[in-house]
Amino acid sequence: MKKISIMKLCFVSSFTILSILVAEPYRGGELRTDQTFQYGRFETRMKAAPGSGVVNSFFLYRDYWAEGLVGAQHWNEIDIELLGRYDNKVTTNLIIQNQWDLPDQTVVSFNPQENFHDYAIEWTPDYIAFFVDDMLIRYINNFYVDSLYHPQQLMMNIWQPTSVSWAGSFDETTLPSYALYDWVKYYAYVPGTGNAGTNNNFIELWKDDFDDYDRDRWSKASHSFDGNNADFTYANVVFQSGYMILCLTKPGDTGYNGDPLKLSDNQLPQLFQIKPPYPNPFNGRVSIPIKTNENSLINFNVYDINGNIIYKSNWTHHTNREKNIVWNGKNNKGENVSSGTYILKINNGTLIKNAKVLFVK
């Protein structure tokens, strides 16, 4: 996959002719930070764009063209990509010098296009890890990681690849297609002194809730690249109702033209709420208050920091009643777990909530 920033510049005297020659058939959107980062934890909550042949992403990229460098020997990139052709997969990838890539797909238990989910990248000098809903889905600590040391920008985009074998066949009658981003967080990598992420090696420096367009942090893009059937345009990066919306459209239909009421409907987490676990840290039992607006069967799972399931159970929950889910620090065999960080995953069949706790003997 290529994300080279090839600006389509035209002389004024031949602007119209050259614009026709270089224009792609569709319009996409891209948002990128002005700041570059070297290591950290990067998180977003997003709802994927539907449609075979459509891709939206959350990724880090070294824009080496902007640095005045030419050639794939300067490439550095770390990707989370959601392909509209799949209703149960998350694609991850690393790209290093000379465009060597390391793609992988993880099967997940939900459709990324139906609801919002949390996606995260941890980038350190020693490893790169990918998370979905706080669960580790991929961990890499080979020579690819050693090659990823150049500062990179954080980016999000939506586009229409020319590669049918990768992205699937595309039917333009499915346009417009929208990807929604609820927020983005950045954590600095501070080994041994943080309070978040793996081994508490990260600390949150900022969060953008996308209540408006922060021009001091972000820039919209207007370019394309090889293998992309869409030109990025400012009009297809929209801030509305507390979301950043990336749009893939036909040239004459740019911007977000969906039903504003659907944006309110997408705030589904309000229908299923959990309060912070207490006490935390704990050494006997931990309680998690939950409340839902519909009768449902609650699945409660506990995972260790490596993504291994430790404990699971089911709870019946009734409408508008707050109820405590309790875990006593034991696995399903009744054995005490070891001290450490655990992820509590609570699923009501439609939405998933996660919480992190520290068990101390």
DSSP code of 14? Answer: G
Domain count, the chain: 2
For the stretch 317-339, pLDDT in tens is 655 567 788 899 999 888 999 99
- Do 41 and 134 meet the contact criterion of CB atoms below 8 Å apart? no
Supply the Cα-derived Rg of the chain in whole angstroms: 22
Domain final residue pick, 264, 284, 301: 264
Same domain, 199 and 109: yes
| Inter-residue contact 277 to 289 (CB < 8 Å) | no
pLDDT at 22: 64
**Looking at the structure, do residues 245 and 260 belong to the same domain, yes or no?**
yes
Q: Which of 264, 286, 303 is the last residue of a domain?
A: 264
Let me know if 122 is a catalytic residue.
no
Span between the terminal Cα atoms of the chain, in Å: 48
Catalytic residue among 30, 43, 77, 122: 77
The pLDDT assigned to 5 comes to 39
Of 264, 285, 304, which closes a domain? Answer: 264
CB < 8 Å & 24+ apart, contacts of 295-301: 295/319, 296/348, 296/349, 296/350, 297/348, 297/349, 298/325, 298/346, 298/347, 298/348, 299/345, 299/346, 299/347, 299/348, 299/349, 300/325, 300/327, 300/344, 300/345, 300/346, 301/344, 301/345, 301/347
Closest CA to 347 of 295, 290, 298: 298
Q: Are strands 243-248 and 40-47 parallel, antiparallel or unpaired?
A: unpaired
Shared domain for 259 and 278, answered yes or no, is no
CATH number of the domain residue 45 falls in: 2.60.120.200
**Catalytic annotation present for 43:** no
- As a whole number of angstroms, the distance between CA 4 and CA 294 comes to 48
Is residue 333 included in any domain, yes or no? yes
Distance between CA 319 and CA 290 in Å, rounded?
11
Q: Is residue 6 part of a domain?
A: no
**pLDDT in the model for residue 20:** 39
CA 242 – CA 240 distance, rounded (Å): 6
Q: Are residues 188 and 299 in the same domain?
A: no
Sequence-ordered list of residues with C-beta below 8 angstroms from that of 208, at least 6 positions apart, any chain: 183, 184, 185, 214, 217, 218
Same domain for 238 and 308?
no
Strands 128-132, 100-101: pairing is unpaired
Q: Which of 30, 81, 322, 335 is catalytic?
A: 81
Residue 113 to residue 108: CA distance in whole angstroms: 12
Q: What is the pLDDT of residue 293?
A: 62
Pairwise CA distance, residues 325 & 319, whole Å = 15
- Going residue by residue through the chain, which has 361 residues, state the pLDDT in tens, using 9 for 90 and above: 444 433 333 333 333 333 334 689 999 999 999 999 999 999 999 999 999 999 999 999 999 988 888 888 999 999 999 999 999 999 999 999 988 999 999 999 999 999 999 999 999 999 999 999 999 999 999 999 999 999 999 999 999 999 999 999 999 999 999 999 999 999 999 999 999 999 999 999 999 999 999 999 999 999 999 999 999 999 999 999 889 999 999 999 999 998 765 665 554 444 567 778 889 898 888 988 887 666 667 788 898 887 788 998 877 665 556 778 889 999 988 899 999 999 888 877 666 777 888 999 8
Residue 274 lies in a domain: yes
pLDDT at residue number 29: 98
Residue 117 domain boundaries: 12-264
Q: Are residues 222 and 117 in the same domain?
A: yes
Task: State the Cα angle at 186 between 224 and 95, rounded to 5°.
Answer: 45
Task: Evaluate whether 289 touches 275 at the Cβ level (below 8 Å).
Answer: yes
The enclosing domain of 299 has a CATH number of: 2.60.40.4070
Evaluate whether residue 146 is within a structural domain: yes
Q: Do 100 and 170 share a domain, yes or no?
A: yes
